[in-house]
Amino acid sequence: MEIHQLQKKVDDWIKEYGVRYFNELTNMAILTEEVGELARIISRRYGEQSEKESDMHKDLGDEMADVLWVLTCLANQTGVNLEEALQRNFEKKTFRDKDRHHSNPKLKKD
């Protein structure tokens, strides 16, 4: 699925099942909550904290999809075309970082 299709599919779902978008501040709070849930799983599964039994069976992909869903809602309701924004972001990062990471000794492969 392309990003513009994702934005349309989320918008269609909201119109059919969600009644309307939550306001932008509510969605920002929800996005923060979803990122926190994702961070909790990653920090416990891949970090040094022990994983709680209640988190062991949580689907990492589903948690990432929750973040993407709410981010897409925010883009839709604020008029952001994520496909265009992402393309501009790639260009910005390429211009800014084209040599930076290659010259970082911390990233050198052994």
Number of separate domains in the chain: 1
Does residue 87 lie in a domain region? no
Average predicted confidence (pLDDT) for the chain: 95
What Å distances lie between residue 4 and 15, 61, 72, CA to CA?
A: 17, 20, 10
Per-residue model confidence (pLDDT) at position 83: 97
Does residue 32 lie in a domain region? yes
Does residue 30 lie in a domain region? yes
| 12-16, 56-60, 100-104: range with lowest mean pLDDT | 100-104
Average pLDDT over residues 87-101: 92
Does residue 62 lie in a domain region? yes
CA 84 to chain centre: 16
The residue to which tokens 């993407």 are assigned: 68
Per-residue model confidence (pLDDT) at position 86: 97
Of the two residues 15 and 55, the one the predictor is more confident about is 15
Question: What are 9-31's pLDDT values in tens digits?
Answer: 999 999 999 999 999 999 999 99
SS3 of 67, please? helix
Q: Domain limits at 71?
A: 3-82
Per-residue model confidence (pLDDT) at position 59: 96
Does residue 7 lie in a domain region? yes
CATH of the domain at 57: 1.10.287.1080
DSSP type of residue 48: S
Whether residue 110 is predicted with pLDDT greater than 80 in this model: the reply is no
DSSP type of residue 110: -
State the Cα angle at 42 between 25 and 23, rounded to 5°: 10
CB 27 within 8 A of CB 21: yes
Does residue 26 lie in a domain region? yes
Count of other CB atoms within 10 angstroms of residue 19:
8
Does residue 48 lie in a domain region? yes
User: The whole model's pTM is what?
Assistant: 0.89
Does residue 74 lie in a domain region? yes
